[in-house]
């Protein structure tokens, strides 16, 4: 495999994962840098690209080369990949090496999403919808992001590209009625599926959230059932 033309700021690699792209064996590339400050972020060390530890690209390439025959594709995550200027070059290189690509995104850069959709270079989008839109500023830690996310939802839901929208369910940030509101919104926009992710109170950006008890799995299941009246919905991370 020849991956040679770019030096992306990669903060980490999981060479083989069975759980990050459903039904596929994937490698996970973590890009440094994020434009949001979600209080419950599990990768706070990746938020600031200036302080994130980065792995030399040659080392990443070497590991991908070694595992290529077992891999169905690559998950690009972060941080926020669409806030990373290296994303386009990275995708081009990975595609030239015949990898399929799943992109995890917070959806706040619809111009980048639009470009990727037009070029048809992503096989699967996983888009965070942090909470109901009237609570977005609090849920993502930065004001004024919800309109951009709505734009990205439209772009992806109206594309022919496989996708999911997902919400990490955090007490104090996402009440059950917020989640159902998001489900209705997504269904109205033509989204394919919705995933409710369980919150893990470990190593998060706002340390006071580490003492917050996640909702019981049974409650998440009930909320997912309610959301399923609008679009297919499931839970993740509930054990
Ligand atoms: S959880 Fe929020 S702050 Fe953390 S990487 Fe994702 S979008 Fe950025």
- CB distance 77 to 29 below 8 Å: yes
- Number of compact structural domains in the chain: 1
- How much distance in Å is there from the Cα of 69 to the middle of ligand 1? 31
Atom of ligand 1 nearest to the CA of 79: 5
Name the residue range of residue 19's domain. Answer: 12-236
- How much distance in Å is there from the Cα of 41 to the middle of ligand 1? 5
Does the residue 222 lie in any domain?
yes
Does the residue 223 lie in any domain?
yes
| C-alpha R_g of the chain | 17
Does the residue 199 lie in any domain?
yes
pTM, two decimals, is 0.95
* pLDDT value of residue 6: 59
Does the residue 141 lie in any domain?
yes
Q: Give which of 235, 193, 195, 192 is closest to 216, Cα–Cα.
A: 235
* pLDDT value of residue 58: 87
- How much distance in Å is there from the Cα of 42 to the middle of ligand 1? 8
Question: To test ligand 1's pocket by mutation, which of 11, 43, 76, 169 has the most ligand atoms within 8 angstroms of CB?
Answer: 43
Does the residue 5 lie in any domain?
no
Atom of ligand 1 nearest to the CA of 46: 5
- How much distance in Å is there from the Cα of 1 to the middle of ligand 1? 31
Does the residue 154 lie in any domain?
yes
Q: How far apart are the first and last CA of the chain?
A: 37
What span, in angstroms and rounded, lies between the C-alpha atoms of 29 and 197? 20
* Exposed/middle/buried for residue 3 (C-beta within 10 Å: 0-12, 13-18, 19+): buried
Does the residue 1 lie in any domain?
no
Name residues of the chain where pLDDT drops below 50.
none
Alpha helices in 47-175 (DSSP H): 57-67, 87-96, 110-119, 136-140, 146-157
Q: What is the dihedral of CA 219, 224, 225, 229, to 10 degrees?
A: 150
* pLDDT value of residue 115: 97
Question: To test ligand 1's pocket by mutation, which of 33, 41, 108, 129 has the most ligand atoms within 8 angstroms of CB?
Answer: 41
Name beta bridge partners: 17: 26
Q: Check which CATH number belongs to the domain holding 180 and give it.
A: 3.20.20.70
Q: How confident is the model over 82-128, as pLDDT tens digits? A: 999 889 999 999 999 999 999 999 999 999 999 999 999 999 999 99
Dihedral of CA 132/134/136/141: which sign?
negative
* pLDDT value of residue 38: 97
- As separate numbers, helices (DSSP H) first and strands (DSSP E) second, the chain gives 7, 8
In three-state form (DSSP H/G/I as H, E/B as E, the rest C), the secondary structure along 123-142 is CEEEEECCCCHHHHHHHHCC
* Exposed/middle/buried for residue 25 (C-beta within 10 Å: 0-12, 13-18, 19+): middle
- How much distance in Å is there from the Cα of 162 to the middle of ligand 1? 22
Atom of ligand 1 nearest to the CA of 35: 8
Q: Which residues does a 6 A CB cutoff place in the pocket of ligand 1? A: 34, 36-38, 41, 43, 47, 78-80, 106
Does the residue 177 lie in any domain?
yes
Query: Which SS3 state, helix, strand or coil, does residue 115 take?
Result: helix
- CB distance 74 to 29 below 8 Å: yes
* pLDDT value of residue 129: 98
Question: To test ligand 1's pocket by mutation, which of 12, 30, 35, 47 has the most ligand atoms within 8 angstroms of CB?
Answer: 47
- 107 vs 45, 51, 83, 149, CA distance in Å? 20, 23, 10, 5
């Amino acid at each position: 495999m020849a991956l040679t033309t770019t030096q992306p700021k990669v903060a980490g690699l999981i060479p083989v994962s069975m759980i990050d792209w459903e039904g596929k064996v994937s490698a996970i590339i973590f890009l440094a840098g994020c434009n949001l400050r979600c209080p419950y972020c599990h990768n706070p060390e990746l938020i600031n690209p200036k302080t994130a530890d980065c792995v030399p690209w040659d080392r990443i390439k070497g590991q991908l080369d070694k595992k290529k025959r077992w891999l169905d594709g690559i998950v690009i995550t972060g941080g926020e990949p669409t806030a990373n200027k290296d994303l386009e070059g990275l995708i081009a290189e990975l595609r030239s090496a015949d990898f399929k690509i799943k992109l995890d995104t917070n959806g706040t850069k619809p111009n980048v999403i639009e470009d990727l959709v037009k070029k048809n270079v992503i096989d699967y989008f996983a888009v965070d919808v942090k909470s109901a839109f009237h609570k977005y500023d609090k849920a993502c830690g930065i004001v004024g992001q919800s309109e951009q996310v709505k734009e990205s939802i439209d772009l992806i839901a109206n594309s022919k590209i496989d996708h999911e929208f997902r919400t990490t369910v955090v007490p104090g940030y996402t009440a059950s009625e917020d989640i159902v509101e998001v489900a209705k919104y997504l269904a109205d926009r033509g989204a394919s599926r919705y995933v409710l992710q369980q919150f893990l109170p470990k190593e998060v950006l706002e340390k006071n959230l580490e003492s917050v008890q996640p909702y019981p799995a049974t409650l998440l299941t009930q909320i997912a059932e309610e959301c399923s009246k609008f679009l297919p919905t499931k839970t993740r991370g509930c054990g």
